Amino acid sequence: MILSQKQIEEIAAAVTEDFNKFFFGTESEEVRMARATPIDQFARDYLGLQVSFARLSSDGSICGLTAYTDTEYIVEEKGVRRTLPLRCNQVLLDESFIRQGQIKKLCGKRRFTLAHECAHQILYQMESDEVKQCCNRQYSARTAYSLRDLKTHEDWNEWQANVLGAAILMPQKEIDLAAWYFIPEKKLTSYDGYFTYRDRLSLRAICAQLGVSQSAAVIRLRQLGYLEDRPYFICGGNKSDKTFCSSHSIKESVVYDTVLAVVQGHIDAAMNMADALKQIDDMAWENREIEKIKAKISFQEEIIDKNRRLKTGAYEDFKSDFISREEYKAFTAQFDQQIKEASDTIMRLTSERNSVMGGLAEQQSWLEQFRKYANIKELTRSTVVNLIDYIHIRENKDIDVGLMHCDRFASIVEFLRERQEKEDANKVIRFERKVV
């Protein structure tokens, strides 16, 4: 028998309503608090099930069993097999639920397990006689399944029992009442399993009121529309290594809005730069940038010359026994590394010089690319890939956004600033001369 979510909810509503009349009597019209389903009485007095406890598995993976006819359940531990008799209309729960020190801790899990086995019995009674007679397994083990795991009829039975058990343990009417009392905003928000302090208190109150675990409550609240999931960023370094950084997190929406604002400002600045460069002489730009690059190259060449001299001096000290072989190797490695870094920098600066020699036209062409992102209202993959180099989120939730081509941007900004300062200075000089 394959049931839809809606059908299962209807079955749960009908069953719980009938049980409530049996257990609580006729309900008054007075406003009341949400109440937990007395699942033990539901199983024993309403369904007529016998509930007992036993060790069901060696690793605790089996939480509960129920039988539709008299049968036996075999437990294998360390190569030794033992048999548990399992009677018709009996539910066996794992003994860990009543172990000293575990009763309160596992209360929610025990109640859900029992509700799950009750659901199996209800669903079984709804099957046709033919299906009952052809039932291959005479007992059902409590197991959790995801939708993608539901490949067989037996798997569907388990999933349906999970859903029906949850609906019996947490009827929609009771969830509605609990939400009215404990969820001020009428909806909880989960950020990848994390909750705000207020939502966490609300969730704890609901769990205590209904006698369920947090995991069961979260699934049920999400199912009934009282919980929404929102992406949340947490520190990946800390998640993999608790000694690295701290367990800080931040809402995706905050990161999104911040990055979008930075990108929008970046685009506006680029377009203003492009317009400003159109008013400037090509040679003024080219000469200024080339001179700056020449100075940087000259500085890196001095670093190379200095480290080569130091390397030669270290060799002479080694030959004269002033330093050991190990010290010589360490000094040489250090000097070689600095020479390499300086050489790499010279190569990069040479490439920049060649680019600058294209004049303002090349800079304007590069800046004009930003016009296609003008008036951007949302971030797209293309925008992020083409414009953003990195995003760093600090422990205090400050967000650093590194933009592509930031060095070129800085160079143009500095050039325009210097031009403006020169123009302002010339205006002052001309004014002073006129006054005189």
pLDDT tens, residue by residue, 126-168: 876 655 555 544 445 544 444 434 445 557 778 888 999 999 9
CB 229 within 8 A of CB 222: yes
The two beta strands, 188-191 and 227-230, are: parallel
pLDDT of residue 71: 85
pLDDT tens, residue by residue, 390-413: 777 777 778 888 777 666 667 666
pLDDT tens, residue by residue, 324-339: 988 889 999 999 999 9
pTM of the model: 0.55
Highest-confidence segment of 75-79, 311-315, 397-401: 311-315
